[in-house]
Every structure is written in C-alpha cells, then in structure tokens.
C-alpha cells in the first residue's frame, strides 16, 4: 500500500496507508462512534461529500455483503480507518472493504491515529480535509473548496412507485436511506419516492394518504426554496420528517437551524421522550440542529430532547398531524428503540379516516 496523508485545513497532518482508489479527495472530515455498520454508513447519502472517520479501531472484519447498502452507491468522499481488515470473516461477505472502495473509486486511509484525529475535530470543530499521497497540499485550494448542492445530486430524478396493499405514502427524497423505504414497505405501505423539488400540487396529484420527508446531506437552508411547498404539504397530509426532513419541517414553520461543532454521528445517542420521560437509544447522523429558542410554541411542541447536550430531537404540530425527529427510527446501523414512530405515523393516517387499513 502507498503512503498517504490526511491534511486538515488547520494544517494538521495524519499519516497512513492508501486503500481503495489512489486519488486526492477533498471533503468535510467527520467521525462516527458506532462499533458496527460501516457498510450502511458508507452508502448513506447523508454522508455525501464527507470524509468519514471510524472511531472503532478495526473496520472491515465482517466484509461487505449484498444486502446492507443504504443506496445504490458508496456516498462518502473518503474514509479514515485505524486498522482496515483485508481478510473479512462472515458467511455473507462477498468482498473486502478496500475492494468496495476501489470499485467505487473512493479513497481511504488506514493505519491512522483516529483517536488523535477525533480529539482534534472535537477541539477545533468539523474541518475540511484532503486525502492525498503527498505530505503537503495547497492550503488555499483546501480553504476555498465549497461543497456542491448534494441533495440535487443524490435525489431521485423521477417518481418511482413500490406497490403494496396499505396506505399510500409519498417519500420526498432528499437523500433517503433504503431502510426508511423498507420500514414503510414492512408496514404494508404503498410508497412513491419523488424528487426533492416536488411541489405541493405535484404531491397532491399522487393522492397520498401521508408524506415522509427523508434524511439527506448538507445545510438545510440550501432548500429554503422548498419551505413554502413543504408547509403546504404538512397542512394537508399527515407528515413525518426524519433527520434533514425534521429540520425542514421546523424551518417551514419559522424556526432556525445551526451547525453543531462536530455533529451527532453514532448508534448510541440517548434522547428523552418528554411525554413519557422514557430515554431511548438512537442512531444519529447530522451536523445541524433546530435552535430551541427559535421555535414558535404556539404552533410546535418539543417531543424529544438529547440527553447529553439538550438539543431538540423531535417536534410535533399542535394543530396538524405533523411529527418529526432528528434521529433515525429505522436505525441501520444502530438500535431500533424508536421504530414505533413509523407505527404512530400510520396510526395518524388511519385516525384521520384517510384509510382503513389494519396497522401491524
């Protein structure tokens, strides 16, 4: 393996060995604390344009299989690993992680002191970086790098329908994970996945019983042109927002979002359900949060709160059947403590008389 380097815009340099594609790649350097689920993470569209650091030291030990991808391609810009396993051991494995990266044209760096790197990110905040084969890099090029509008790149280009016998849910695709679609299909829903820019009238023409706003990459303010359309959708259909979808619901009702210092990414984030007082373990992957002081309490209620930093993790509308959560109830990877949110969403649809299907 060739010598490689991760160079941060702060000037810090971390050495390792190149795996996957030998080509410079620039991105926002983030980290995830999960012990498993690297395949799901690498194919999660929410990581588009980001260089993902795995905190767990050994990555790739169970290989890559044919069923755990969350999208049709690897989404990360690059990966940083402490120790990449080249000889995976699992009966479902079809290839190693490094071969997956090579086939996808993605650069990775192994043999890195990831503990030191994470400590640096936690101290200085999320920074841009480059994976390269040379120990120096043009700092101006790195500092001036601007991410493209990733939602447009990862969203479906046309409506796709998955037929079923239950309620019809329109899934507005800002970069959805396959597991969200699977969760709806398992509840017997008919699902139509539509592009991120669908208007209220276009959604209405599909005659849905409910609407789900998906997760996705980037700053939610890049989608401000959709706020009014999203608000119209929520005022006319039972709506569930997940991750980026949660932020878009809040923004559509006048709230403000801000970027966290280094985000929430991992499979063990504790959130408190304010109605019951129960604490749930959740899977999370986001940089932005809804600012509590910006919420209009005449319209919205906070339903979940992060146990660690007290940030807003869920809201619902006082009048309309609209709920949203910052975490991932479908998990993958992570715990399924909050999978009931999908059932509650379908119960909302049923209670309004839009459909008369038995809820599992």
Measuring CA to CA, which residue among 355, 349, 326, 354 is closest to residue 265? 326
Distance set, CA 163 to CA 177, 181, 219 (Å): 18, 12, 32
55 included as an active-site residue: no
The response to whether 288 counts as a known ligand-binding position is yes
Same-domain pairing of 99 and 239: no
List, for residues 148-160, the tens digit of each pLDDT value. Answer: 999 999 999 999 9
Per-residue pLDDT, averaged over 121-150, amounts to: 91
CATH number for the domain that contains residue 10: 3.50.30.20
328 included as an active-site residue: yes
The response to whether 244 counts as a known ligand-binding position is yes
| Domain count across the chain | 2
List, for residues 38-78, the tens digit of each pLDDT value. Answer: 999 999 999 999 999 999 999 999 999 999 999 999 999 99
Q: From CA 163, how far away is CA 228, in angstroms rounded?
A: 29
Residue 331 structural domain: 150-351
Per-residue model confidence (pLDDT) at position 351: 87
Residues paired with 76 in a beta bridge: none
- Which residues, including other chains, have CB under 8 Å from residue 140's CB and lie 6 or more apart? none
- 140 has pLDDT over 90: no
Same-domain pairing of 195 and 252: yes
CATH number for the domain that contains residue 254: 3.40.50.880
Please count the other Cβ atoms lying within 10 Å of the Cβ belonging to residue 275: 10
25 included as an active-site residue: no
Among 85, 114, 144, identify where a domain stops. 144
Share the mean pLDDT of the chain: 95
- 360 has pLDDT over 70: no
Within a domain: 360: no
Same-domain pairing of 155 and 136: no
Same-domain pairing of 113 and 162: no
Per-residue model confidence (pLDDT) at position 138: 84
Rg (CA), the chain: 20
Catalytic one of 25, 55, 189, 243:
243
Angle among Cα 321, 339, 248 to the nearest 5 degrees reads: 45
- 297 has pLDDT over 90: yes
């Amino acid at each position: 393996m060739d010598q490689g380097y991760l160079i941060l815009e702060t000037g810090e340099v971390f050495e390792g060995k190149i795996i996957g594609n030998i080509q410079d790649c620039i991105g926002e350097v983030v980290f995830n604390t999960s012990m498993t689920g690297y395949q799901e993470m690498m194919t999660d569209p929410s990581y588009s344009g980001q260089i993902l650091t795995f905190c767990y030291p050994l990555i790739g030990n169970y290989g890559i299989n044919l069923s755990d991808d969350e999208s049709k391609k690897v989404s990360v810009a690059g990966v940083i690993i402490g120790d990449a396993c080249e000889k995976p051991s699992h009966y479902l494995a079809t290839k190693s992680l490094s071969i997956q990266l090579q086939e996808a044209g993605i650069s990775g760096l192994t043999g890195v002191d990831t503990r030191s790197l994470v400590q640096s990110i936690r101290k200085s905040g999320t920074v841009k970086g480059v994976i390269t084969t040379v120990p120096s890099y043009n700092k101006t090029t790195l500092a001036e790098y601007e991410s493209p509008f990733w939602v447009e790149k990862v969203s479906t280009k046309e409506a796709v329908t998955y037929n079923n016998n239950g309620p019809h849910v329109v899934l507005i695709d800002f970069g959805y994970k396959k597991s969200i679609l699977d969760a709806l299909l398992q509840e017997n829903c008919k699902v139509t996945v539509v592009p991120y820019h669908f208007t209220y009238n276009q959604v209405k023409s599909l005659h849905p019983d409910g609407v789900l706003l998906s997760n996705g990459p980037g700053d939610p303010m890049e989608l401000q042109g959709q706020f009014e359309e999203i608000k119209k959708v929520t005022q006319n259909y039972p709506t569930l927002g997940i991750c980026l979808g949660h932020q878009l619901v809040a923004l559509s009702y006048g709230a403000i979002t801000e970027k966290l210092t280094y985000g929430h990414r991992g499979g063990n984030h504790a959130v408190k359900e304010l109605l019951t007082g129960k604490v749930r373990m959740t899977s999370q992957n986001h940089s932005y949060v809804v600012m509590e002081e910006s919420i209009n309490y005449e319209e919205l209620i906070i339903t979940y709160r992060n146990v660690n930093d007290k940030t807003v993790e869920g809201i619902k509308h006082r009048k309309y059947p609209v709920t949203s959560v910052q975490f991932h109830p479908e998990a993958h990877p992570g715990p399924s403590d909050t999978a009931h949110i999908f059932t509650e969403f379908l119960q909302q649809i049923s209670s309004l008389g839009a459909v008369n299907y038995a809820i599992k």
